[in-house]
């Protein structure tokens, strides 16, 4: 069976999340989005774990179920901050677990290392090697996946605190790493350029701090297997039963290009290199984005595709499309919701709209302009002004000729302003 899964997200006890971010709302909005399977997120947090126990029962296949039978798997994200090779490291890892019994053991072991109650994504001062050893001593059924592997601050390959190779990070525990998560600012094609990633599965999840459909499931992994914990883990470990991923355009991510938000400076990698990775305005170090870092570590040319590579689909969330066509800034505006709900009433879920809805039927419901944008989105034809230094990218759709000229003028001014530095 086809399963669209989002296994990396957070609950209401994580920082910068809503008090309404609970299991009922996650289930409700996953159904709206068209996500078939969710991770619980944050299972080690005492209050969230209590909520999970109250809200979910586990079946004989290691799948947690709500009262209305919506499925979850135990998941969390752990932050490791430590020093290795004379450099401070900050690495985030996704953890999947098969049962309440195993989760209890994980909680017990992590509790010996530090506090679990101050955030849904706790920090521990141990290395990735130590962490994987600890998890595998508890159960070989636990899966560890390096999270959003390219983001600058907290990831395996991050420009500010990461490593140049998986083996450098995980050493002899690399044998237990079977997959990497792309993150918003990269996609599979970017990761295919590194031969060291051959043989690893590529997964994508939202890392959502919200249940709203423009966050939940904005990236997801598609499985073609039975809905069982062991089968999902087998697909991640072997690639068999993993059909591909749903991604946003990497430019949509907050760290795709290099830049300095305080100075409103955004740069392509080649521009940053010419400037010595220093902001041309304040002379401070730039935040080096994902595109630059991939270029630094890649040993293959852009466009390389390994044999047997899984397909992926690039999609901008539906609310973004609607708001852009309407010229409305807020994704949660009344006008956006009205059109969103019209489409849901006919097609059932957002993913069904984005992936399957017929153009003529879309046109009859929402008009030709939005129908055209939805189809262009499906084909990967929507351009995105790249995100940088914590600023999301901007889809360039639904703009008037005057607005498009303004975007062009901004880019022209940026280029003119940079010339004196090159």
pLDDT confidence of residue 416: 41
Beta carbons of 146 and 178 less than 8 angstroms apart: no
pLDDT confidence of residue 399: 54
Identify the structural domains of the chain with CATH numbers, from first to last. 2-252 (3.20.20), 317-378 (no CATH)
pLDDT confidence of residue 398: 60
How far is Cα 273 from Cα 187, in angstroms, rounded to an integer? 23
User: Which residues make beta-bridge pairs with 96?
Assistant: 75, 143
* 131: three-class secondary structure by DSSP: helix
Residues in Cβ contact with 403 at an 8 Å cutoff, skipping those fewer than 6 apart: none
Q: What is the pTM of this model?
A: 0.94
Beta carbons of 249 and 392 less than 8 angstroms apart: no
The whole-angstrom distance between residue 290's C-alpha and the CA centroid of its chain comes to 13
> Cα angle at 22 between 356 and 331, to 5 degrees?
50
Pairing outcome for strands 71-84 and 64-65: antiparallel
pLDDT confidence of residue 401: 45
How far is Cα 139 from Cα 280, in angstroms, rounded to an integer? 51
pLDDT by residue for the chain (422 residues), tens only, comes to: 999 999 999 999 999 999 999 999 999 999 999 999 999 999 999 999 999 999 999 999 999 999 999 999 999 999 999 999 999 999 999 999 999 999 999 999 999 999 999 999 999 999 999 999 999 999 999 999 999 999 999 999 999 999 999 999 999 999 999 999 999 999 999 999 999 999 999 999 999 999 999 999 999 999 999 999 999 999 999 999 999 999 999 999 999 999 999 999 999 999 999 999 999 999 999 999 999 999 999 999 999 999 999 999 999 999 999 999 999 989 999 999 999 999 999 999 999 999 999 999 999 999 999 999 999 999 999 999 999 999 999 999 865 444 444 444 455 444 544 544 44
HEC per residue, 48-117: HHHHHHHHCEECCCCCEECCCCCEEEEEEEEEEEEEECCEEEEEEEEEEECCHHHHHHHHHHHHCCCCCC
In the numeric block, the tokens 């949660």 are attached to: 332
Provide the Cα torsion 265, 266, 267, 272; round to 10°.
50
pLDDT confidence of residue 136: 98
How far is Cα 359 from Cα 288, in angstroms, rounded to an integer? 40
CB burial string 141-178: b at 16+ within 10 A, e below: bbbbbbbbbbbbebbbbbbbbbbeebeebbeebbebbb
In the numeric block, the tokens 């309440």 are attached to: 100
How far is Cα 385 from Cα 253, in angstroms, rounded to an integer? 10
Token pair for 53 = 């126990």
């Amino acid at each position: 069976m086809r399963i669209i899964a989002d296994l990396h997200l957070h609950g209401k006890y994580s920082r910068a999340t809503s008090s309404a971010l609970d299991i009922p709302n996650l289930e409700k909005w996953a159904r709206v989005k068209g996500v078939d399977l969710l991770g619980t997120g944050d299972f080690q947090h005492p209050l969230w774990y209590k909520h999970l126990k109250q809200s979910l029962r586990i079946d004989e296949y290691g799948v947690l179920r709500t009262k209305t039978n919506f499925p979850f798997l135990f998941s969390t994200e752990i932050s490791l901050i430590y020093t290795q090779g004379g450099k401070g490291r900050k690495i985030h890892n996704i953890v999947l677990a098969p049962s309440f019994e195993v989760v209890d053991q994980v909680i017990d072991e992590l509790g010996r290392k530090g506090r679990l109650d101050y955030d849904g994504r706790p920090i521990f001062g141990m290395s990735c090697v130590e962490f994987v050893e600890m998890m595998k001593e508890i159960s070989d059924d636990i899966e560890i996946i390096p999270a959003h592997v390219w983001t600058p601050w907290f990831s395996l390959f991050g420009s500010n605190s990461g490593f140049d190779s998986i083996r450098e990070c995980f050493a002899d525990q690399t044998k237990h790493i079977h997959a990497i998560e792309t993150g918003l600012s990269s996609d599979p094609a970017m990761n295919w350029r590194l031969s060291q990633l051959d043989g690893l599965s590529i997964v994508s999840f939202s890392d959502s701090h919200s249940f709203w459909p423009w966050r939940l499931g904005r990236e997801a992994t598609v499985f073609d297997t039975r809905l069982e914990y062991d089968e999902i883990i087998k697909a991640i470990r072997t690639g068999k039963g993993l059909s591909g991923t749903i991604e946003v355009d990497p430019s949509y991510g907050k760290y795709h290009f290099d830049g300095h938000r305080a100075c409103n400076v955004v740069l392509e990698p080649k521009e940053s290199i010419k400037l010595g990775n220093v902001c041309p305005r304040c002379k401070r170090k730039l935040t080096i984005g994902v595109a630059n870092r991939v270029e630094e570590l890649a040993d293959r040319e852009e466009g390389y595709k390994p044999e047997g590579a899984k397909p992926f689909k690039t999609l901008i969330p539906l609310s973004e499309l609607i708001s852009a066509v309407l010229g409305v800034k807020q994704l949660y505006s009344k006008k956006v919701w009205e059109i969103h709900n019209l489409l849901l009433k006919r097609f059932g879920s957002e993913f069904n709209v984005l992936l399957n809805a017929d153009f003529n039927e879309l046109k009859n419901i929402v008009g030709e302009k939005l129908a055209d944008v939805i189809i262009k989105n499906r084909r990967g034809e929507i351009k995105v002004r790249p995100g940088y230094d914590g600023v999301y990218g901007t889809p360039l759709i639904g703009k008037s000729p005057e607005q498009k000229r303004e975007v062009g003028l901004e880019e022209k001014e940026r280029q003119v302003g940079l010339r004196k530095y090159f």
